[in-house]
A and B are shown apart, each in its own frame.
Chain A
Amino acid sequence: MPAVETVVIGAAGTGSRLGVGIPKCLVALDGRSIIDHQLDLLADVPDLRVVVGYREEQVVRHVIGRRPDAIFVRNPAYSRTTTLHSTLLAVRHLGDRPFLALDGDLLLEPASFATFLAECAASGPPLLGICRASTDEAVFVTRRSDGAVASFRRSPRGDFEWCGPAYLRREHLEGGDGYVYEALERFLPLPAVEVVAREVDTPGDLERARRWLHEWPTR
């Protein structure tokens, strides 16, 4: 069973909805940044790529303290592009090798993420990680009886949201326009498994994520 070899963390955005003045991936929860929590979970991933833009030097210097072997992909147009553009920049020279895309503002419960990684390796791309809806401005999903994502929607709210994890090949994003979920709509239905995670987009999300962190069974 091949393990997940390449992970792309999207950490280019300004986090304007959160409004904390630092890249969202560096926002601290429980004394450690979100990306530190992610790097803990990605210690065995050999090919780590981080897309940087807003205050890129700050992100790079933070990450190389933990992962000097990371590759940083620059998105100079971070203020006017979406995660779709950032991820495409990161994988444009990757050929047809699969990669796991993660948003740099996602807090993942370790045990469920380990299960998700194993499922990525076992079933191959495409595979989405969805979670119980909790964030203020989510991309909600409807599911088929077999668990696959049948559709994405911004409203009305649903029980599950797609919070960003996606094990893909470049072809799943190339030619897409707008947001990642809009590019993926071309391939629906998409297999999905549940992960326990919280995305941090707004001050409300951040407060909930801080409380939630203390509830992890694996702490």
Chain B
Amino acid sequence: MATAFCIDLDGTLVSTPLLPLVASASDIAEEIEVLTAATQQGVIPFARSLRLRCRLLRDVPLSEARRRVAFAAVNEDVLEFVRERRDRCFVMTGVPDCWVSPLAERFGCQIASSQARTEGDAFVDLVETLDKGDAVRALRDRFDTIVAVGSSVNDLSMFEAADIRVAYGTDLAPGIRETADYWTTSGRALCRLLRPL
């Protein structure tokens, strides 16, 4: 049995928040940014906020959203770590599959995400929101130790289900730091911590 690494996409593997990136193609970028910040602070429940933000972004053509997400700023140290352990690293995000698919191609790894219904070049609605805690628990029969790395409010369920919890970054959602075993603020430190686990 081995160790699995469950790594948050939005804020850890990529440093640019993805929904505001999609929103930059719309005329409600500021509103989405405010909603995203309020969600990170725990003011709005994550699942409800995600559904709302996705609906507000329905007018952004899929092709345009994907084009912008594809160029999200990446934490290269963490990406290298993930690529070297493709069979043990699981990238997780609440952002729907239709928007993150370019990153899965770019990174060459699977990304567990929320599921969306699309029609042609349009996002229609969220079908299923990823519960990262469930995703971690689904790995239990294959791994005896599960490490979770995250910073966002929807990483809390992942932390609850994992064996070792690592808070990443300086913009942490309430509860993340308090439940973490380790706290790192750079990709180099994070990878140095994770390698021997």
Contact = CB atoms under 8 A, between A and B. Distances in A.
A80 B189 CA distance: 28
Contacts of B188: 69
Interface string A85-100: 0000100011101000
Given A71-B192, A74-B180, A60 B185 contact: yes
A163 interface: no
A63 to B, nearest CB: 9
Contact of A94 (B170, B189, B196): B196
Contact of A57 (B177, B182, B184): B177
Interface string B173-197: 0000110111111101100110011
Nearest to B197: A93
A107 B185 CA distance: 26
Interface of B: 164, 170, 177-178, 180-186, 188-189, 192-193, 196-197
A69 B189 contact: yes
A9 to B, nearest CB: 14
A217 interface: no
A74 B182 contact: yes
Contacts of B181: 73-74, 89
B180 A71 contact: no
Contacts of B185: 60, 64, 68
Contacts of B196: 93-95, 97
Which secondary structure dominates where chain A touches chain B?
Answer: mixed
Category for how many chain A residues contact B: 20 to 34
Nearest to A46: B192
24 contacts: A47-B192, A52-B183, A57-B177, A60-B183, A64-B185, A68-B185, A69-B186, A69-B188, A69-B192, A70-B184, A70-B189, A71-B192, A72-B182, A72-B183, A72-B184, A74-B180, A74-B181, A74-B183, A76-B178, A89-B181, A93-B164, A93-B193, A93-B197, A94-B196
A205 B196 CA distance: 39
B197 A68 contact: no
Nearest to A75: B181
Contacts of A60: 183, 185
Nearest to A64: B185
A64 to B, nearest CB: 5
A69 B186 CA distance: 6
B193 to A, nearest CB: 5
Interface in A124-149: none
A71 B177 contact: no
Contacts of B164: 93
Contacts of A68: 185-186, 189
Given A70-B189, A71-B184, 7 more contacts: A46-B192, A57-B177, A60-B185, A64-B170, A64-B186, A72-B184, A74-B177
Nearest to A97: B196
Nearest to B145: A93
B12 to A, nearest CB: 15
A97 B195 CA distance: 13
Given A57-B177, A60-B183, A71 B197 contact: no
Nearest to B192: A47
A212 B195 CA distance: 41
